[in-house]
């Protein structure tokens, strides 16, 4: 599975800790991340991560493009709902794309725990069928 890892500045430590705790699960998948987040996770875990630009510089849009092309299977995006983000339209667009293309999206630790356990248990295997059939966005 292709997995995106994204975190706003005040949530980066949380995602690094989460990725460290579930390193063995993430190691079985192909990881993508926005700039600084990817660097910090890779440094803490040693996991190989394809890094895009930072979110405000287009990284969110790069991940969104992968979603639109049916090349992303899950997104862990630890958002900071209490801080205004200069690239909020990009964030909103990314969340919208996850909804349009039925890509599981965890925006907080609670949902991330459920999603990572689902990955571990094989509950995401339906994504392989979607990919084989050329993708579906519900239209």
Q: Which residues are catalytic?
A: 60
DSSP state letter for 30: E
Contact 130, 95 (CB under 8 A): no
HEC profile of 4-28: EEEECHHHHHHHHHHHHHCHHHHCC
Give the CA distances from residue 48 to residues 45, 95, 97, 102, 109, in Å, rounded to whole numbers and listed in that order.
9, 25, 25, 26, 22
Give the CA distances from residue 38 to residues 53, 90, 128, in Å, rounded to whole numbers and listed in that order.
10, 18, 25
State both tokens at 64.
Answer: 């969104």
Contact 6, 124 (CB under 8 A): no
């Amino acid at each position: 599975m292709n997995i995106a890892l994204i975190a706003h500045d005040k949530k980066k430590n949380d995602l690094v800790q989460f990725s460290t705790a579930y390193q063995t699960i993430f190691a079985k998948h192909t990881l993508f991340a926005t700039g600084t987040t990817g660097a910090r996770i890779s440094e803490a875990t040693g996991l190989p991560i394809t890094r895009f630009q930072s979110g405000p510089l287009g990284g969110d849009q790069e991940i969104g493009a992968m979603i639109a092309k049916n090349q992303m299977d899950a997104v862990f995006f630890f958002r900071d709902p209490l801080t205004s983000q200069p690239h909020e339209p990009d964030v909103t667009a990314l969340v919208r794309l996850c909804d349009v293309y039925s890509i599981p999206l965890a925006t907080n630790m609670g949902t991330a725990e459920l999603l990572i356990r689902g990955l571990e248990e094989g509950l995401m295997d339906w994504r392989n069928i979607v990919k084989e059939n050329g993708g579906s966005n519900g239209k």
